Every structure is written in C-alpha cells, then in structure tokens.
Amino acid sequence: MSYAAYKMMHWPTGIDYCAAGFITHSPAEAAAFSSLPPTISGPEVDVDSSAARAPQRVGPTPNLVVVAANVLEVYAVRTDAVMGAQDGGTSSLAAVLDGISGARLELVCYYRLHGNIESMAVLSDGTENTRDSIALAFKDAKVACLEFDDSINGLRTSSMHCFEGPDWLHLKRGRESFAFGPVIKADPQGRCGAALFYGLQMIILKAAQVGQSFVGEDEPTRMLSSAAVRIDSSYVIDLRHLEMNHIKDFTFVHGYIEPVLVILHEQEPTWAGRISSKNQTCMISAFSISMSLKQHPMIWSSAKLPHDAYQLLAVPPPISGILVICANSIHYHSQSTSCSLALNSFSSQPDGSPETLKTSFHVELDAAKATWLSHDIVMFSSKNGEILLLTVVYDGRSVQRLDLMKSKASILSSGATTLGSSFFFLGSHLADSLLVQFSFGVPTSVLPDLADESADIEGDPPFAKRLKRIPSDVLQDVNSVEELSFHSNSVPNSLDSAQKISFVVRDALINVGPLKDFAYGLRTNSDPNAAGIAKQSNYELVCCSGHGKNGTLSALQQSIRPDLITEVELPSCTGIWTVYYKSSRGIITEDNEYHAYLIISLESRTMTGDDLGEVTETVDYNVQASTIAAGNLFGRRRVIQVYAKGARVLDGSFMTQELNFTMHGSESSLTSEPLAAASASIADPYVLLKMVDGTVRLLVGDHSNCTISVNAPTVFASSSERISSCTLHHDRGPEPWLRKARTDAWLSTGIGEATDGNDGFSHDQSDIYCIICFESGKLEIFEVPSFKCVFSVEDFVSGSAILSDDLSHTKDAVIGVPDATTVSVKKEETNNIKIVELAMHRWSGQFSRPFLFGLLNDGTLLCYHAYCYDGSESNAQCAPSSPNGSSDIDNASDSRLRSLRFHRVSIDVSARDDISSFTRPRITIFNNVGGYEGLFLGGPRPTWVFVCRQRFRVHPQLCDGPIVAFTVLHNVNCCHGLIYVTSQGFLKICQLPSAYNYDNYWPVQKVPLHGTPHQVTYYAEQSLYSLIVSVPVVRPLTQVLSSMADQELGLHIESDFTVGDDLQKVYTVDEFEVRIMELEKPSGRWETRFTIPMQPFENALTVRIVTLQNTTTKENETLMAIGTAYVQGEDVAARGRVLLFSFSKTENSQNLFQVTEVYSKESKGAVSAVASLQGHLLIASGPKITLNKWTGSELTAVAFYDAPLHVVSLNIVKNFILFGDIHKSIYFLSWKEQGSQLSLLAKDFGSLESFATEFLIDGSTLSLVVSDSDKNLQIFYYAPKMVESWKGQKLLSRAEFHVGAHVSKLLRIQMLPTQGLVSEKTNRFALVFGTLDGGIGCIAPVDELTFRRLQSLQRKLVDAVPHVCGLNPRSFRHFKSNGKAHRPGPDNIIDFELLSHYEMLSLGEQLDIAQQIGTTRSQILSNFSDFLLSTSFL
C-alpha cells in the first residue's frame, strides 16, 4: 500500500461554540413577522387575547450558530404558538409557557470548512434593521467574516483577514507554538471587533459605517434584504508595550461612547506551591479604543484579583460594568463601584478589604459557561452540570451585592447562549445539546405541568416519537426552588424574578462524541445468511461516548436494516401501491386512517389485496394488465388505477368508470392508433400521464359526480420537443407556499389569507403545478389545469448551484451562461444525460419549503431546496405593470413565480448506474414511516433520505440488495410501516427499528450509563460487550486522605482534623467497574448482566477478550483480560493488576452465564494494554512489555522488551507487534518462538505523543498507522533494504495527513470487493477511526492508477471551488508539528472531503475539469462509487 484515501463517514457532533445572532433576518423583520396574526387555519374568533398577544411576549428570536470542529451550522428557532380552544386536547401533553406549546431548531444552512474553528463571535450593532455577521477565527491568525446572502440563501464571505506569512513574522516574536488559538470578541454596539493572536497581539477590526439599506422609500411593505455589519479595516496593538505578560480573557463593556476593551491579565504568575503567600496576581485594565487615532488610553484598572480568575462577563445596560468570574469567587467591577461574592471556603480576599458576602452553599465555578437571561440575571452551567442563577442587585447605577442560587441540574456544557427573550441553548461536547425555554414568573396553572416536565422531558406531541429522550439529559431538580429563602426584598430589583424562573426543554441536538473507544458487534436483527455487501448490515459500532453523568453507550450503524414482520415470495413484481378507501359513512382523521387495499403490479397482471388477504377474484380492478400507478382521488372516496391502455375509477372494489386511451389517440393526426401510457403522477383531482411517444395527457376529475375526463394540453401540441419526465406538485396547506413567490407576494399572503379559511377548519387551499423536464434539459413549471407556464429554467440537467426563472430575470452571472465554444466531445456527453424522474414535495411544518428532485440517467440525484428572493427591483423592465397598460406580456410576467429560486443541496447518494428511460419510478415520498418523513430511493443501492429539521439525513439500506418497489403501509398489524419488493422476488413487510434516532449522520441508539465509559470490547461467541465504566462518588475528605497516604501519616492527618468545618469537606473520586452488557435479541434493550467492581483507587485501564493456549491441556481458552493501575498520588510507587476472567454457561437452559475470576496478580507499574499473541498473553505494565504463557492457573513470563516510557496501545498481526508510546512514537517488534525472544525490528526516531496505532494491510504489504496529539495521522513502513532506513532501524514515512481531530481509536475492517475493479488483492483492509469530536471516518488503501487520477483532480479542485471562509484545503491537510522539528513526508493521501465538491459542480464545470486532467467525468464518478462501495461498512 503506497497510497491511501481519507474519507469522513460521520461528521463531528460535539459542539464547541454556540452563539446567537440575527443572521437571516434583522430584529425588525423578526418582530414584524411574529406580530402577524397566526396563520394556522381555524376560526379567528376563539383565539383568545392571551394567545394573540403570545408572539409579542416572546419577542423576536435570533438564529443559533453552532460550531462542531470544522462544521458550521445556522439554525432558526421555530415556535408553535398555542391556538385557541380547538386543540385543547393536545396542549395538555406539552407544557405551555408564555403561550408557546413547543419549539424546535430548523436548519438554515450548514458548511464543512477546511479548517477547525478556534473561536467565534457575532458582530451586531444592536439596531433594529441591520443584520448580524459571523466572525470566525482560525489557526494561526486568520479571521473570516460571513454574512447571509438572500440571493443564494446561504452564507457569503464578506471579508478575510490574515496575519500569517513573512509579512507578519514579527508578531510571533520567534515563538512557534502557542498555548491557545486565536480568540475573537465583538463590541456590543457593533463598532469593532477584537481578536487576540499569538498570545499578546490584539487586532482591532474596525466596522464599516453602515449605509442606508437598499429599500426605497416608496415600498415599505417589501421585506428586502437588510444590510449586515461588515469589517472595514484593521490594525494591531502589541500588548507587550502595555506591560502585559499573560492574558486570560478580554471583553468589551457597555455604556461608553467609544468602545472600551477590558483585559484580564496576570502580572507575575504564581503556581500551586506558592498560593499561600502569593495568590492575588490578576488584574483588569480598561482601555478606550479610538479607532480613528489608533490610540488606546487606559481609563481605569483594578488589581489584586484572585489568581484563579479566568472569565470576564460584561454586564448589560442599564447596570453595565464587568463581572470577573474566578473558580472560588465572583467580583463585580465598574469605574465607580466594586463588590464580590465568595463561593466556598477556598476563596481568599486581600488584607484590609471589607468582608465579602458568602453563598449559603459551596460551589466551584471553574470551567463554568455563562449567559445573560435578562439584564440582571446571569445563568451559569457549572462543570458538574448544575444550573446556577446569579442576580446582580442594584439601585440606580450602583451595584449593591451579588446573589447566587441553585436552579436545576442539566448537561455538562461547552457553551451557553441566550436566544431572544425566552430561550437559551446549552451546547455540549459531552452530551446532547439542549434548547430550553425559560420564563420569569409562571401563571399557577402551568406549575403542575412543569413538575412532570422536569422529571421526564418529552418533545412536542407530534415529535414525541422522534426525539428519543435520554433520561440522563433531563434537567433534574437539585433542590426545589421554593425552599431557598431570601431575606431582603426591599431592593429595587427583588430576587423574586430569579426565584420564579421555570424551564422547559424544547429540543435536543444529538451528539455521539467524544468517541473514546468502540467495538464492532452484531445487531439484534442480524441475518446469519447474508453475504457480500449485505453482510455489513449485520454489524454495528458500539461506542463509548460522553462523560460523567452524561456517559452513554452509543450504538451506531451506517445502513438501515428494517425489522421484518412478514415475508412472501413474489416473483417478477414491478410495483406496489397502498390506497385508502373512505366510504361516506366513517369520518376518520386523515393522519391515522388505515390503508384499505394493496395493489401489486406484476409484469403481465395485477393483484389486489385487502388486509393482506388476496381478493383479486371479486374486485373490478383491471387484473389482466400491469398497473402503472394507483392512488386516491376525490378526498379518498375513490381509487384510480392507471395501466398502459387506460384507467379505471373504483368506489371500493366496484368500478364506476373506465377510460381507454385508444379513442383519445393523437387528435392532431388522422389515425387513432392506440397510445400507451409510460408513467403517471397523481395529485387529487388530476392525473398526469406521460405517453410512450413523449407527450403528456391530463386526466381531470370532477368532484360533483366523481368522474374523470382526458385533456390533452394544447401547449405541447405545437412544440416538437420530447418530454423526458414530468410530475405534479400539490401545493396545499393553510398557506400554499408557491403563492409567496408571485410578483405581488407580499401583498397577498399573510393577513388576507388567514381570513379566507374561516368558513371551515378543514378547507385547506391548494394549488397544483405540473413540472416538466424536456429532453433538451429544460425544466418548466405550469399551473394546472390552465397549463400557463409560471417558471422555466434553460439547463436544469447541468445542476447549477442556483436556479431562477429565466424570463423574469435578465441573465446575470449567477446562472452562468454556457460558452458557445463548447467542445464537441463535451457536447456529446452532455446530450446523453437526461432527467428520468422528477419529484417535488413540501413536507410538514409551518415554515417548510418545497424540495425538487431530479434523477439523471447516470444515477446522480439532483436535489434543490426552494426559497424566495425578490431580486427584480434592480431591473426596471420587470416592474409590476400599471393598472391601465396591461398587455399580454405584462400579464405573463405578473403571474410568473418571479421570486422563486432553488439552491442545490448536497446529498450523498451513490447509485452510479445507467438507468434506461423506461424503468419503474424510483423515488417514493413518505410522510410517516415510524414518525419520520422523507423519501425512499429504490434501485440497485436503495437509500432512505429522512427530512429532519429541513435537512437531509441519508441512510443507505444494504441488507436486501436492489429494491424494485416500495410503499408505505399503515394498518392494524403494521403501524406506520413499509412494504418493499427485492429484486430476488420477495415482498417484505417491515417497520423501522424504533430504538434508533435517525436525525443524525448515522442512525444512533444511546444507552445511558450514568458514568464515564472508557473502553469496550466485544465477545463474539456470546454476543457480550464488556466495558469499563467509572462512576463519580462523593467521599468524606478524611477517608480519602487516610487511604491514600501511608499509615503513620494517616495518624497525623486525623489528629489535625479537629476543626468542625473541615470534617464536612467532601471529595469526589471515580470508582471503576467492568460491566458486562448484552443487547437483548427480540426487544433491543441493553441489559447489564454482570458487574466486576475494582478496588478503591484502582483504575481499570484496559479490557480485552484474549485467546490463550493452556499449556497443560493444550487447548485454547477465551478469557477476558483486565489491566488496572492504582492511582494514589505522586508519593506512592505505581502498582497495577492483571485479572483474567472466564465465561461459562450455567447448567440451566436459559442463556445466562457465569463470570469467574481465574487469575489475578499484582505487577510493578500500571497495566495499560494487553493482547494475545499466538496463544501467549502480552502485557504492557509500566515501561515494560512481557510475554506470558498460560498454564491454566498461572502466567509465567517467557520474554520481555523495555519500552521507553508508557505503552498506550498494542496491536498484533501474526507474530508482529506494534506499540505506541506516550511520548516516543511507535515501535515495531517481532516474536520468535525458537529463541523465545521479542526483538526490535524498527522504530520511528521522532518524538510523537501517540494516541492510537494499528496495522494497515493491503495485499501482502504491511503498513503501520499512528495518530498523535497534534491531530495528525501518519503511515509508516518497514523497509530494511532502503538506504535511508539505517539498515532497517528506522521506520520510513509512507504518508502523513492532518485529520483536524484527535483520533482515539483505529479499527481494521476488511474492504468489500467492488464489481467494477477486479483487483487481485483480496485481503485489503481499511481502518475505521473515531475522533474525540464525535466523528467517524476511514483510511483505506487505493491502487496507484486511481490515486494519480484523483490526486490531480484534487489539485484542480483547490482552485476550482470557491471555499467557504476562503480557507485553503491544502494548508489544512499539511502535517502540523506544533513547532517541533519535523521532516515532511510524501503526500500520498487523497482527501475525499475535498473531492466531494466535484459532484456539486455543474455539469459543464465537471466536464471541463475532467478534460483538463485528461480523463472523463464518468471515470471519476465510477472511482468515487467504487471507493464508496468498498468502504460501505456497518
């Protein structure tokens, strides 16, 4: 293996930073939007006054910006207002707070950047009608500002600032590595931002003077894009000139005319041994920043702050000033007053200062995250997950004191931010992040609801199934809020407000990080007979994730395997449909109605079934011909069946009308030869047919007598162009979405429309559109039944990034006109590509927008998301016509969907195969399968695409091979399930496994452990997982100290503890145990079968299943080996233990088993890794590796090797051993049986802090992979014949790569063979890795030809693709040595993160780039899909 490829399969989920800002709309727009009367259909009369006031009470809500490693996501908060009396039944399920019954996060846009985001700030000038921008800081010294651009419905880089390279070397002052990355903060009034680089260089970023927004005075009604804050220029302040040495934090304060920057810094550092004599070392200094003069005079400062101060919080107006947060105290400072609050007995105060207030309870605030809930209440999320509320008690502008109280227990958070006036978001690296609604002072009626809400948080009723809540993420009550009494209520802002705050969790974002370790085991519903690629669906990845009380076991799988209910053999099936039948008697609610008939189309006939019993004989369906489509018409009162020669309308099982397409042949010609239908699309009351000759027919239904008639649209009679595919889009709901895209959209929607629906609750308005794609690649949208063209795009096939209506816009650069000088070769390739299937759908949700899908005949799925952008005010000739001069052209342009645009969404669907033009339809849209909505893509690689939060979650289904037909089924036996037919001819009725949450990159099931998981291993024979868990336990300090120290010291310690206060001190210690867990087969629940506790202060470091050869009986035994270490402080010599356990079945017939300890021995040094090597046990204890043989009762040492410091990981292949050292990189050993010796073959001479190691096998080539603390991956090889290897002592570098995350585990999995490339190498292995950010990826060998082709493509894409934030992917993937000397290795890894941009380019650009590197587009795409197939694990 000389060449490798890197691919992420599950992107990071652990949230590092979160912030709130009005990114997609200004506060004024949000306020205008939320003050409209609610447009949910229903009588306006019974909306009582409180519900009508509700949106204003909540106020405008900003967007949430979230950063996970290199992923940037922008969300919008969507609230469900409580309507009047009509849904009193449902609102009792969810707590109602401030007139809101539920809220959820909806994705606006997300980007994967070529660089990890080190810090984030939101630039906001606080005014009503400007938007905010996002400022991101990257290593070493880069800042990028992003603003939301309405015309592309995404983020656009507005400015970039870089302080690296030769011009800025003087800023580093000779240093190469820095303790922390850049930090960026913003001025609350938006006048400037400040970024701290290289430890002591402050960059001031000056904001541009915001001009008037682009709205003219004459059109105040239009919500046009408002300007965002932009950065104009910057300059550098060297903080060394201001006598600063070590900066801990800085922030801007409120209430000054010029921006004022307050810096927390330490004058001369101290350390733990000197705290008693030197502890007030920090100080704060306030500087007034004058950007025009580039001067920064100090205006006030305050010294003698505790050494553990670490965070500054600017107090909002009217109080203003600053809070200094220390680990043991909180201090308030302003120019005039100061006060402080001690949090525990460790807080120290300077001599001669007034007595400080103390809290009534003990708490430590180090590493707390804070956000302001109101102008005088700040919320802290502490390091053990408690929520604390601090009230600043003030009178006028002078602060009198600070009061702290406990509120609830929550998750361990990495960031907190307030969203508007009633939500806050807790981002977490270790648990699921939560969106919480809070309210000051609750009406009494809600309190009983809240009581059970805090005990067990469910989502809103429709989402209850979807948000599988984990008990450990619930806000538990620490102590009831009412008990905390406050003495003085005479202060102007009394503490009642903080006391009466109530919380409800509204939504959660899933996080599976940090992945410390994982095991590869079988699923509950695995199929023992599966082979090939389908066998991968038998496995799942069981991961240790989370920490402390948020620790979970996460079961992840990449592909979905549905739970089978029944299976029937059914050869040569071509399609299945389920239809409803509503007789006039029973009125059932639409959502829960059961399906009545199942229609199965075979190649030459049709079967129909009723509740899974076949009733073909008695029904009037046309059973002699193959059905093309079936569905419901006239509000589910009739069923329509379309076959090639005609159609039938049925009332239940009786036919009411039959149409033949023969008599309605082509009317234009004289002959009336029969014309067959090729495909059909049904949207009540219309059916659109595409005929074999490429023309269309429309069947129009008449509601009054439930009959249909054929109509041939005259629009297409004249044009000779063939239609390649067509579909109907039913735009229904209380407010049809596409109407907003009309020219006069803002006048017609909103208030006027809510009054239309007053006559009846169920009267949804609906518009029906017909979307047609021609063989030339042109796409047009028509109104039905008038067939008036309302939207057209010239070149839909090429997949441009933005689609907009060709007629109502003059061609601008966005659409990209193809050059006339296209090469003939390219022309040919373009002409072969056609759209074979179209679909357009808008899923549920008040704010959802339609998606448009187009399937190309080479298997690419184009996917577009619609949005509104009215850009027409720039070109005057498209202005709305005046009432008198209404010519035809003006009318045509008026009724067009002028402001409709689509932007392309990336979607990883890898079905690369040629689709002939007459195949079955593949896209099936579903609205409820197991509580989820989305679409199913059939074909050779079936894929589920779930739509969650307006984003796609793509999960392949590999277990049954190609799927020819799919439909949903909801009846008594199968609730919200599905039916599909495989190409082998089996019809399967299934349900989605309900234990998994599909709103993640991979489906995940999280099992709370209430402790930190450290390592997991899988025992295949009994399907058991043994994992190390540590649970934090609170112990009295005396007990902890006496057991840690020696006996004599213990006596002295106990005699010292005479003071009453000290006896109460407690200390938290981690208690370790090894749990043996099993995934119960039928139920899918995780059960703990056995627990092995460790001794006090004994940490279990490793657990592995090993196979040892018993030398007395000469048999192999499978045992569980545990390596431990005693952690007793630095004064006690390190010891550890090796434990061996055996599993044995019990006599009873149940599948219970016994775990018995067969061996235990102490060793000098911590036992950090164990492995079995050819029947021997290899133990790494401290700095020594010993090889032991097993006699059945004893381990006897056979050979040993001295490692440098401490072994982190051990890997074994045949008789080769690879181990990673904590500081000294990797060593490669071999074991020889005859001399019984472990001998060193080679080592890496560099110093490397290794995290994980593994062998990479490619045919007969063996490589060694190691990941390190600087987030790199290196591949080494052993070549004793090479000169530079120093006669084989030195391992040579084969490739190196910067992953951008700490890789904590590597797992070797055999690659799957691909049919495209018959390679002679059968034993090829890929490495699947997990990172501490919650990402999963793989490193896999590739052959040289593919590597060379894709590497040249990768070099092209660096320049060809506009990268977000202007980041360079090549510099991101360079090996980062953090200032240490490193000789660069070869560049032998291709990066699929960058290559994936190729598929998102438009067709012309794809062909251009392929031609430039001397290959073809289809060759590149087949390389992509081959790689994807060979690594489609799990």
What is the H or E stretch that residue 1350 is in? helix 1344-1360
Residue 701 token pair: 């239904």
| Rounded alpha-carbon distances, angstroms, from residue 1428 to 114, 756, 1175 | 21, 52, 36
Grade residue 445 by pLDDT with cuts at 50, 70 and 90.
very low
Residue 818, pLDDT > 50, answer no
Is residue 23 over pLDDT 60? Answer: yes
Q: Which residues pair with 1161 in a beta bridge?
A: 1138
pTM for this predicted structure: 0.88
The angle formed by the CA atoms of residues 591, 592 and 593, to the nearest 5 degrees, is: 100
Q: Supply the pLDDT for residue 760.
A: 32
Percent of the chain with pLDDT over 90: 39
Residue from 237, 238, 211, 239 nearest 226 by CA? 211
Residue 444 is predicted with a pLDDT of 34
Helix (H, G, I), strand (E, B) or coil at 1183: coil
At 448, is the pLDDT very low, low, confident or very high (cuts 50, 70, 90)? very low
Could you tell me which residue, 832 or 517, shows the higher pLDDT?
517
Residue 552 has pLDDT above 70, yes or no: yes
Tell me: pLDDT of 559 over 70: yes
Q: By three-state DSSP, how is residue 241 classified? A: helix
For the segment 692-708, the average pLDDT, to the nearest whole number, is 83
Say what the pLDDT of residue 915 is.
61
Which of 1036, 1120, 1125, 1025 minimizes the C-alpha distance to 1072? 1125
What is the CB-side half-sphere exposure of residue 942 using CA atoms within 13 A?
Answer: 25
Mean per-residue pLDDT, 39-64:
48
C-alpha 353/C-alpha 202 separation (Å) is 33
CA 25/CA 33 separation, integer angstroms: 10
Return the closest-CA partner of residue 1174 out of 1122, 1233, 1228.
1233
Q: Residue 496: its pLDDT value, please?
A: 57
Q: Which of 32 and 587 is assigned the larger pLDDT?
A: 32
pLDDT per position as a tens digit, 728-766 = 888 876 677 887 776 544 433 333 333 333 333 334 567
Of 277-291, 396-410, 652-666, 801-815, the one with minimum mean pLDDT is 801-815
The reported pLDDT for the residue numbered 179 is: 85
In the prediction, which pLDDT does 25 show? 86
pLDDT given for residue 1260 in this prediction: 87
Residue 1340 has pLDDT above 90, yes or no: yes
Nearest to 897 by CA among 818, 840, 817, 836: 840
- Confidence tier at 1 by pLDDT (50, 70, 90): low
- Answer yes or no: is pLDDT of 951 > 80: yes
pLDDT category at 590 given cuts 50, 70, 90 is low
Amino acid at 281: T
Helix, strand, coil in percent for the chain, rounding step 5: 15, 45, 45
Which pLDDT score, from 0 to 100, does residue 661 have? 76
pLDDT number for residue 1015: 95
Write the CA distances from 1249 to 640, 1205, 1218, integer angstroms.
Answer: 68, 11, 15
| pLDDT value of position 1000 | 92
Q: What is the residue whose two structure tokens read 């104009």? A: 232
Q: How far apart are CA 443 and CA 570, in angstroms?
A: 61
- Mean pLDDT is lowest, of 526-540, 646-660, 766-780, 1194-1208, for 526-540
Give the pLDDT confidence score for residue 910 in this predicted structure: 62
At 883, is the pLDDT very low, low, confident or very high (cuts 50, 70, 90)? very low
Q: Look at residue 1046 in the predicted model and tell me its pLDDT.
A: 52
34-43 residue pLDDT tens:
554 433 333 3
The 10s digit of each residue's pLDDT in 1210-1224 is 999 999 999 999 999
Q: Calculate mean pLDDT across residues 3-29.
A: 91
Q: What is the pLDDT of residues 94-106, one digit of tens each?
A: 577 777 878 889 9
Predicted confidence at residue 615, as pLDDT, reads 59
**Gyration radius of the chain's alpha carbons:** 34
> Higher pLDDT residue, 1323 or 63?
63
Bigger pLDDT: 173 or 1329? 1329
pLDDT tens for 969-1028 read: 888 888 889 999 998 888 999 999 888 999 999 999 999 999 999 999 999 888 899 999
- The pLDDT score that the predictor gives to residue 846 is 79
Q: What is the pLDDT of residues 325-344, one digit of tens each?
A: 999 999 999 988 889 999 98
The mean pLDDT of the chain is 81
The residue ranking higher by pLDDT, 357 or 1351, is: 1351
Q: What is the pLDDT of residue 664?
A: 45
Q: Which two tokens stand for residue 1354?
A: 């990768």
Share of the chain above pLDDT 70, in %: 81
Beta carbons of 619 and 607 less than 8 angstroms apart: no
Of the listed ranges 663-677, 810-824, 1325-1339, the one predicted with least confidence? 810-824
Amino acid at 1189: K
pLDDT exceeds cutoff 60 at 811: no
Cα distances from 303 to residues 262, 281, 321, in angstroms, run 13, 8, 16
Sheet with 63-68, side-by-side order of all strands: 17-21, 63-68, 71-81, 100-112
